[in-house]
């Protein structure tokens, strides 16, 4: 179930309440590492993040609690790949809702960026890409399959606990059945980054109105969710999504009652955190 992706985002490094307590600072420093804010931008960005977190806490967390509670119920029945795809669509819808709320601030930030800051962003992308290449473009097919499966199992074990050798073999077979083309994922990553740099340079040079910038940024973000090179490689990306949905369904359906209870307990902790934060 892709709802676990939402739960992973909410969980962060530890409890959701701890994440919210430090969330504004964490997001600020993450953004600053990419943009290198000026002294004039810093207080404004912090204030915008404060407002965004307040909005999210008061308007979105109750909905997240409901979604996570639905996931608890789903654990009690057989799960289909269609269920996983439906939940992914629900998560994307919620992500775009947050995007729309942040668009005015994002547009103002884009309009305030200096050429040196856009250069800084491009260099940060290049640095990140080196690590990505080392992680995903090294070794033969078996090495890449192993690396991808290890990442999947790290999350699976967080939610369900230890898996038996038989379960792990089933999951490994389903993982390996997913289409593998890391070069294509890398190409999409580069195209996404290059398009953002091009867009920001265009905004910086032409200084369009705020509403125009908001529309440009929303179109870009929607394209990120839909994959930039989708039209050229539709068959691969569709097959990848379908195969991942089958893997998620297999993970849930192969889980023992004890493993499902483990996942339900993890989810309940997040549900409680969502409700507590929303109430305050």
Give per-residue pLDDT as tens, 62-86: 998 998 999 899 999 999 999 989 8
Q: Which of these ranges, 5-14, 123-132, 218-227, has the smallest mean pLDDT? A: 5-14
- The whole-angstrom separation of Cα 176 and Cα 9 is 25
Q: Using the structure block, give the residue that is written with the tokens 């004890």.
A: 258
Tell me which residue range forms the domain holding 170. 3-279
Could you tell me the CA-to-CA distances from 10 to 5, 86, 91 in Å, in that order? 9, 19, 12
- Among 170, 169, 163, 156, smallest CA distance to 256 is for 163
- The whole-angstrom separation of Cα 228 and Cα 107 is 21
Ramachandran assignment for 29, one of left (phi > 0), alpha (psi -120 to 50 degrees), beta (any other): alpha
Q: Is the pTM of this model over 0.85?
A: yes
Domain count, the chain: 1
Q: Give residue-wise pLDDT tens across range 193-233.
A: 999 999 999 999 999 999 999 999 999 998 888 876 778 88
Residues in the chain: 280
Q: Give residue-wise pLDDT tens across range 151-200.
A: 999 999 999 999 999 999 999 999 999 999 999 999 999 999 999 999 99
- The whole-angstrom separation of Cα 63 and Cα 33 is 31
Q: Is 3 exposed, middle or buried (0-12, 13-18, 19+ CB in 10 A)?
A: buried
Question: Residue 126's pLDDT is what?
Answer: 97
Contacts of 139 (CB under 8 A, 6+ apart): 147
Token reading at 73 = 């119920």
More confident residue, 23 or 114: 114
Is 67:3 a contact under the CB 8 Å cutoff? Answer: yes
Query: Where residue 16 falls among pLDDT bands split at 50, 70, 90?
Result: low
- The whole-angstrom separation of Cα 10 and Cα 98 is 14
């Amino acid at each position: 179930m892709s709802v676990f992706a939402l739960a992973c985002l909410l969980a962060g490094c530890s409890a959701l309440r701890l994440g919210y307590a430090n969330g504004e600072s964490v997001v600020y420093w993450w953004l600053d590492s990419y943009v290198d804010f000026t002294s004039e931008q810093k207080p404004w960005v912090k204030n915008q993040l404060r407002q965004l977190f307040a909005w999210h806490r008061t308007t979105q967390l109750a909905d997240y609690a409901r979604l996570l509670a639905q996931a608890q119920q789903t654990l009690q029945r057989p799960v289909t790949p269609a269920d996983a795809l439906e939940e992914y669509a629900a998560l994307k819808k919620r992500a775009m809702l947050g995007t729309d709320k942040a668009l005015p601030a994002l547009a103002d930030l884009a309009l305030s960026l200096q050429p040196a800051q856009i250069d800084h962003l491009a260099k940060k992308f290049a640095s990140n890409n080196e690590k990505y290449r080392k992680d995903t473009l090294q070794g033969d097919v078996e090495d890449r399959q192993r690396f991808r499966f290890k990442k999947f199992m790290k999350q699976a074990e967080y939610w369900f606990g230890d898996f038996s050798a038989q379960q792990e073999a089933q999951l490994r077979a389903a993982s390996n059945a997913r289409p593998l083309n890391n070069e294509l994922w890398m190409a999409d990553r580069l195209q996404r980054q290059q398009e953002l740099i091009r867009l920001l340079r265009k905004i910086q040079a032409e200084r369009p109105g705020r509403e125009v910038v908001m529309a440009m940024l929303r179109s870009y973000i929607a394209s990120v969710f839909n994959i930039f090179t989708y039209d050229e490689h539709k068959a691969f990306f569709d097959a990848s999504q379908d195969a991942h949905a089958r893997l998620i369904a297999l993970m849930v359906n192969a889980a023992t009652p004890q493993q499902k209870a483990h996942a339900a307990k993890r989810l309940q902790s997040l549900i409680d955190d969502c409700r507590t934060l929303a109430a305050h």
